[in-house]
Amino acid sequence: MKLKFCGAAGTTTGSQHLLEVNGKRILLDCGLYQGVRKLAYDINCGFPHFDPASIDCVILSHAHIDHSGNLPNLCRRGFQGNIYATDGTRDLCQIMLADSAHIQESEIDRVNRYRAKQGLPAAEPLYSQKDAELCLRQFVTISYDRPMLVEEGVRLTFLDAGHILGSAQVLLEIDDKSDGKTKRFLFSGDIGRGGNEILRDPVPAKDVDFILMESTYGGREHDAAPGTGDQLEGLIREALRRGGKILIPAFAVERTQQLLYVFHRLFTDGRIPEMPVYVDSPLAVSATETYRLHPECFNEEVYESLFQRDNPFGFENLTLVRSVRASMELNDLQGSAIIIAASGMCEAGRIVHHIKNNISDPHTTVMFVGYCADNTLGRRIVDGEKQVPIFGELHTVRAHIDSIDSFSGHADHSELLDWFDRITGPKQKVWLVHGETDRSEALRAALSERHSGSIEVANLGHTVEF
């Protein structure tokens, strides 16, 4: 059995790992690499580590674009096999891959306007919306906890990962013909914190021999415990005293639905006064509809509320905004209102317009509920810069800025160690992926102290045999 690290090694994006067993080539995830535009385009386009047509099947851990986003391109370049995923992942891929294709198409339009001026031929998008639709036809969905034969001698079970809707750990039970032994291989996907506002907790796998594990938060701990509305309640009350708009930049998938659920509870329990809430993002609106279709993914509280003619992600004072016109009308709102809009890092999307129109008003509150990467508008604002560039103009920050850490979708260092400890079996070899190198190294050091098996940080392009 061989495993080749084809992405998300030394970094967190572009998750792709190629497992070869019994003469079959199984690709675990097919994510987009996200980085400097030209380099990312070349890497994503070219599949430098394998020929797409040589892959027998894909097993997808979850719908995030850094795990699923290169699937349309894989299919377009000759991959004909099945893409195994949970039902929730398949349904989210339907909207997220279409959205990603739309972004690729608009970006290439911009590039091509520049290329035309230079007299260069037009470049093609990585994939089109049609490619995204076509690749969905290769999906085969499997429920959680239902072992299924996916290749000769390879049984796949999806276990809950508690990260986003449909997210799964991939457990493979393999009859390895090369030595006649049965081996259990676990790919973590991305692991959630447990105690999530809406999702079920990650399930511990049993009798595992080999683990391919994410390490996003190796060496880092979150400040706040997950799953409490207390912090949000306190900050909203303070923001109400300021009287202006409350802008919440949030990822359209998962973070927005977590927020809606917590607001639903805070309003129902009378912990904050009724006030208008707007979700201003077509992708977030579609994702919220998808969430309602998947009771199997939710913790007991949300599960019960789905069956009590209650909408856990809705309430009377909530308005879902799809059209650009309705979004622009939000500019004229008077008084306090909560506006949740993508993107979470304020790099693109409608939130940028809301920030531009309100950031210089001292009554405004901007509330960050997720991670902001370096060099993003979100990061500049969180870091307290007094003047920020928006659409090429400098704007003075007079709004009040808050940051909430309890919503993270990723287990932190201690939570990753807990996840590892709860897995039973010999765990003889562990490879760490999906982390910046120093994060993966910090996790490797901690795991080595508590576990005698071999623990390695994966190197991009390397193959291991076991």
Shortest distance, CB of residue 89 to Zn ion, whole angstroms? Answer: 11
Neighbours of 257 (CB within 10 A): 27
Which is closer to Zn ion, CB of 216 or CB of 365? 216
Shortest distance, CB of residue 31 to Zn ion, whole angstroms? Answer: 7
Q: Crossing angle for the helix pair 129-136 and 87-117, nearest 10 degrees?
A: 160
338-341 and 57-59 as β-strands: parallel, antiparallel, unpaired?
unpaired
Sites for Zn ion among residues 142-181 (CB under 5 A): none
Shortest distance, CB of residue 409 to Zn ion, whole angstroms? Answer: 6
Q: Is 180 helix (H, G, I), strand (E, B) or coil?
A: coil
Contact stretch for Zn ion (CB under 5 A) within 58-66, 168-176, 193-201, 253-261? 58-66
Sites for Zn ion among residues 294-323 (CB under 5 A): none
Which is closer to Zn ion, CB of 139 or CB of 217? 217
Shortest distance, CB of residue 176 to Zn ion, whole angstroms? Answer: 28
Applying CB under 5 A, among 17, 25, 64, 444 the residue interacting with Zn ion is 64
Which is closer to Zn ion, CB of 336 or CB of 408? 408
Do 74 and 135 touch, CB atoms closer than 8 A? yes
380 binds Zn ion (CB under 5 A): no
Which tokens go with 180? 């006649």
Q: Is 259 helix (H, G, I), strand (E, B) or coil?
A: helix
Contact stretch for Zn ion (CB under 5 A) within 66-74, 96-104, 193-201, 308-316? 66-74
Which is closer to Zn ion, CB of 1 or CB of 95? 95
Shortest distance, CB of residue 68 to Zn ion, whole angstroms? Answer: 9
Q: Is 438 helix (H, G, I), strand (E, B) or coil?
A: helix
Which is closer to Zn ion, CB of 64 or CB of 350? 64
- Name the strand (E) or helix (H) holding 90: helix 87-117
Q: Crossing angle for the helix pair 87-117 and 282-292, nearest 10 degrees?
A: 170
Which is closer to Zn ion, CB of 7 or CB of 282? 7
Which is closer to Zn ion, CB of 168 or CB of 272? 168
Sites for Zn ion among residues 182-211 (CB under 5 A): 190
Shortest distance, CB of residue 375 to Zn ion, whole angstroms? Answer: 20
Contact stretch for Zn ion (CB under 5 A) within 62-70, 136-144, 192-200, 270-278? 62-70
Q: How many chain residues interact with Zn ion (CB under 5 A)? A: 3
Cα separation, 260 vs 198, in Å, equals 10
Cα separation, 205 vs 210, in Å, equals 11
Q: Is 275 exposed, middle or buried (0-12, 13-18, 19+ CB in 10 A)?
A: middle
Which is closer to Zn ion, CB of 30 or CB of 236? 30
Do 37 and 103 touch, CB atoms closer than 8 A? no
Which tokens go with 240? 């109400």
Q: Identify any residues that bridge with 402 across adjacent strands, giving them in sequence order.
A: 367
Q: Is 365 helix (H, G, I), strand (E, B) or coil?
A: strand
Contact stretch for Zn ion (CB under 5 A) within 57-65, 74-82, 229-237, 346-354? 57-65
Shortest distance, CB of residue 309 to Zn ion, whole angstroms? Answer: 32
Which is closer to Zn ion, CB of 173 or CB of 405? 405
- Name the strand (E) or helix (H) holding 4: strand 2-5
Which residue carries 């535009």 as its tokens? Answer: 37
Best CA proximity match to 262, nearest among 290, 225, 232 = 232
Kindly list the distances between the CA atom of residue 143 and the CA atoms of 40, 300, 315, in Å, as whole numbers in the listed order: 33, 18, 30
Cα separation, 153 vs 286, in Å, equals 38
Contact stretch for Zn ion (CB under 5 A) within 63-71, 197-205, 278-286, 352-360? 63-71
Contact stretch for Zn ion (CB under 5 A) within 59-67, 280-288, 373-381, 416-424? 59-67
Shortest distance, CB of residue 254 to Zn ion, whole angstroms? Answer: 9
Kindly list the distances between the CA atom of residue 265 and the CA atoms of 165, 301, 312, 344, 380, in Å, as whole numbers in the listed order: 20, 11, 8, 22, 32
DSSP string covering 125-170, please?
A: PS--HHHHHHHHTTEEE--TT--EEEETTEEEEEEE-SSSTT-EEE
Neighbours of 385 (CB within 10 A): 13
Shortest distance, CB of residue 415 to Zn ion, whole angstroms? Answer: 15
Which is closer to Zn ion, CB of 66 or CB of 402? 66
Shortest distance, CB of residue 198 to Zn ion, whole angstroms? Answer: 15
Shortest distance, CB of residue 208 to Zn ion, whole angstroms? Answer: 21
66 binds Zn ion (CB under 5 A): yes
Shortest distance, CB of residue 5 to Zn ion, whole angstroms? Answer: 15
Which is closer to Zn ion, CB of 64 or CB of 265? 64
Which is closer to Zn ion, CB of 97 or CB of 174? 97
Q: Is 66 helix (H, G, I), strand (E, B) or coil?
A: helix
Per CB under 5 A, residues contacting Zn ion are 64, 66, 190
